[in-house]
């Protein structure tokens, strides 16, 4: 009996001594047992990165989109300023959708063999595509005169050079390679940079040029179009091929954004005014 009594008190002593450690281990076991999804699954995210435009209003974008999405549940918006971080982050991700340029989507699919599908494509003034246009002061009559000159663009340097190459072909590789790309925050800055002499040429959307014509016809008159790109799809919403209920709900919320004034205002910050479902032809151009 005495031995038993002694043992009991010893056990109590040891228990008291190791109580915090035991509690910690139990908690750790519980956390390991509970599936990850119970925690991460609570908030689904729109992951955003776009090299086509130098969008740097991330804080405002996040605030505006978070506010809008919170009306529908635990959804959030996560913009990325760096391409590499975005690419590393999206691989294998299934807790959200991806808002990215169509050009970047095709590249990503090829590079990482991602099992992702384009679901929605942006719409602006009823169109899901746009064209890039290279303009210069009207004393520059062709691309040969732009050798070594400054081209202002709201896209990243990499993207701008790729589009310029597509527009001008292999035969002008040297000229395009010699161009100095001045990345500016917006298309209208690029056009003004040409107008006011900070750049020799600008690569912008056709629509931005139309805007300039409406705001400042005099400055528009000094510009000359040198070349146009093919039609490019506006940004897309992509999602994992195997989507759960919550992803389908998030896509439905995004699709409806353009129908309400508040949602439309948020979308304008991204340069689109609504979304539509990706059609088969568009899917083909995106590489399925």
Partner 1 sequence: MEKSGRIRKGVSGKMKNESFNKIASGLRTYISFSRGKYSSIMLLFIVFTLLPLFIPSDLLASEDKDVLVLNSDASIYKYSLAQSELKAKIATPKGEIDLGSKWIDERKIKKMINEIDPCVIYCIGSKAYQMAYKLAEKKNIVFSLVINWRRHPIDKDTYGISNELLQGAQLMMYRYFFPDVNKIGILYNNKYSEEWFDIAVESAKDVGIRIVGKSISKPDKIESALKKLLPKVDALWLIPDPTVIYDIESVNKLFEQCQAAGKPIYTYDKAFVNLGATLIMSADIPTMIKQSAEIISGIQGNMEIEEKVQHPAGSHIILNMKKVEEYGLNLNIEALDSVNEIVR
Interacting residues toward partner 1 by CB under 8 A: 53, 56-57, 59-60, 63-64, 150, 152, 180, 182-186, 188-189, 192-193, 195-199, 211, 215-219, 264-265, 268-271
> Cβ 249 to partner 1, closest distance in Å?
26
CA distance 85 to 96: 16
92 versus 197: smaller Cβ distance to partner 1 = 197
Cα→Cα distances 28→25, 39, 140, 207, 209, Å: 5, 15, 69, 56, 59
179 versus 239: smaller Cβ distance to partner 1 = 179
> Cβ 196 to partner 1, closest distance in Å?
5
Residues 3-37: b if buried by 16+ CB within 10 A, e if exposed? eeeeeeeeeeeeeeeeeeeeeeeeeeeeeeeeeee
> Cβ 168 to partner 1, closest distance in Å?
23
Order of strands across the sheet that contains 75-79: 75-79, 44-49, 96-100, 236-240, 116-123, 274-277
> Cβ 179 to partner 1, closest distance in Å?
13
CB-CB contact of 150 with 200 (8 Å): yes
115 versus 158: smaller Cβ distance to partner 1 = 158
44 versus 48: smaller Cβ distance to partner 1 = 48
117 versus 154: smaller Cβ distance to partner 1 = 154
212 versus 278: smaller Cβ distance to partner 1 = 212
> Cβ 30 to partner 1, closest distance in Å?
41
CA distance 169 to 118: 28
> Cβ 156 to partner 1, closest distance in Å?
12
31 versus 269: smaller Cβ distance to partner 1 = 269
Full 3-state SS string of 67-134:
HHHHHHCCEEEEECCCHHHHHHHHCCCCCEEEEECHHHHHHHHHHHCCCEEEEEEEEECCECEECEEE
Q: In which residue are the tokens 């040198």 written?
A: 226
As beta bridge partners, residue 253 has none
CA distance 114 to 241: 9
> Cβ 265 to partner 1, closest distance in Å?
6
20 versus 217: smaller Cβ distance to partner 1 = 217
> Cβ 184 to partner 1, closest distance in Å?
4
- Tell me the Ramachandran region of residue 13: left when phi exceeds 0, alpha when psi lies from -120 to 50, beta otherwise: alpha
């Amino acid at each position: 009996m005495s031995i038993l009594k002694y043992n009991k008190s010893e056990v109590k002593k040891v228990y008291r001594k190791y109580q915090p450690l035991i509690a910690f281990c139990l908690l750790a076991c519980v956390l390991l047992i509970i599936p990850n999804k119970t925690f991460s699954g609570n908030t689904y995210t729109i992951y955003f990165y776009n090299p086509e435009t130098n969008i740097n209003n991330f804080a405002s974008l996040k605030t505006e989109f978070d506010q809008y999405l919170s009306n529908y549940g635990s959804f959030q918006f996560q913009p990325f300023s760096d391409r590499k971080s975005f690419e590393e982050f999206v691989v294998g991700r299934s807790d959200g959708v991806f808002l990215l340029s169509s050009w970047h989507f095709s590249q990503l699919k090829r590079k990482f063999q991602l099992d992702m599908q384009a679901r929605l494509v942006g719409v602006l003034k009823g169109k899901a595509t746009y064209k890039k246009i290279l303009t210069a002061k009207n004393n520059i009559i062709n691309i040969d005169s732009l050798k070594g000159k400054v081209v202002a663009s709201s896209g990243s340097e990499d993207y701008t050079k790729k589009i310029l190459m597509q527009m001008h072909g292999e035969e002008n590789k040297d000229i395009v390679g010699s161009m100095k790309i001045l990345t500016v925050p917006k298309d209208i800055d690029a056009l003004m940079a040409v107008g006011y002499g900070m750049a020799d040429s600008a690569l912008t959307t056709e629509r931005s040029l139309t805007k300039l014509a409406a705001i400042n016809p005099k400055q528009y008159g000094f510009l000359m179009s040198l070349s146009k790109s093919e039609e490019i799809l506006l940004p897309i919403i992509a999602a994992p091929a195997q989507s759960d209920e919550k992803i389908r709900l998030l896509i439905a919320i995004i699709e409806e954004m353009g129908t309400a004034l508040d949602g439309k205002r948020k979308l304008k910050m991204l340069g689109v005014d609504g979304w539509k479902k990706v059609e088969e032809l568009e899917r083909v151009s995106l590489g399925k």
